[in-house]
Amino acid sequence: MSIVMTIAALVLGFFVKTPKFSAHADTDKQISFKEYAFDKKALLPCILAMFFTTTLGGVISFLSGLGAEADIGASVSLFFLVMTVMMVVVRPFSGRLYDNLGHKIIIYPAAISGIIGLFLLSITENTITLLIAGVLYGFSYGIMTPTLQAIAVGFVEKEKQGTANAMFFSSMDLGIAVGSTGLGVLASLTSYHFIYGFSIISLLVLLLLYTFVFVRGENAKETAL
């Protein structure tokens, strides 16, 4: 199935029409690779996404190990089902709240929900706790990633939105890679339960950066205006 979907994506990609922007049409300036691939305005949301997907790397890679460790391996597939359903359900509501009230009103609940979900994974010994963790983590994922992506894209000029999207998804990949590798090493030294408790640190760092760098920076700009 993965091979079929990959081939389908490849074929459909040839039919995508990319709009041509004329931002540099009136000059002879050549766009450097750095300008093409990077925009510092989108950097902070991408860093926040990396911290979030560090925890996602642990969830994706080691939940089966946690299930075996807690003797609830048969319920692991239900966790991902519940998480996915929650992501789909919450997405339309989070988008509307973001449009009407801004990102501050949804980022904090999403981060706190993710922290509680990871904590439940760190102590789970039964299916009920595992599924509640799936609901909470799915709520967090369904809000956090599209919101941060919207922020990243909204911070840049129209002709750099593709760059912002590329940076965002690269940061997600980097976070998953760091989480899968780092938490895997940690699991070999401790336990699967422990690494999910340890993952909470990543979301706490996300909250600190969001509050003291991102939110305070925006408030300072609003005050200056």
Query: What are the tens digits of pLDDT across the range 1-47?
Result: 999 999 999 999 999 887 665 555 455 566 677 777 788 999 999 99
75 in Cβ contact with 67 (< 8 Å): yes
Rounded to an integer, what distance in angstroms lies between the CA atom of residue 137 and that of residue 160?
31
Structural domain includes residue 183 = yes
Tell me which of 26-30, 68-72, 86-90 is least confident: 26-30
Tell me which of 28-42, 68-82, 123-137, 141-155 is least confident: 28-42
162 in Cβ contact with 41 (< 8 Å): no
- pLDDT for the residue numbered 204: 97
- pLDDT for the residue numbered 98: 85
Structural domain includes residue 11 = no
> Which CATH number characterizes residue 213's domain?
1.20.1250.20
- pLDDT for the residue numbered 52: 97
- pLDDT for the residue numbered 37: 79
Q: Helical H runs in 17-75? A: 33-37, 43-69
Structural domain includes residue 30 = no
Average pLDDT of the residues of the chain: 89
Structural domain includes residue 14 = no
Structural domain includes residue 53 = yes
**Overall domain count for the chain:** 1
Average pLDDT on 118-147 reads: 96
Rounded to an integer, what distance in angstroms lies between the CA atom of residue 76 and that of residue 176?
19
Structural domain includes residue 15 = no
pTM of the predicted structure, to 2 decimals: 0.86
Rounded to an integer, what distance in angstroms lies between the CA atom of residue 198 and that of residue 88?
27
- The answer to whether residue 217 scores a pLDDT higher than 80 is no
Structural domain includes residue 9 = no
The residue segments making up the domain with residue 147 are 46-224
Calculate the alpha carbon distances from 34 to 30, 31, 38, 41 in Å. 11, 8, 6, 13
- Residues written for the chain: 225
- pLDDT for the residue numbered 55: 96
- The answer to whether residue 225 scores a pLDDT higher than 70 is no
Tokens 């894209």 belong to: 153
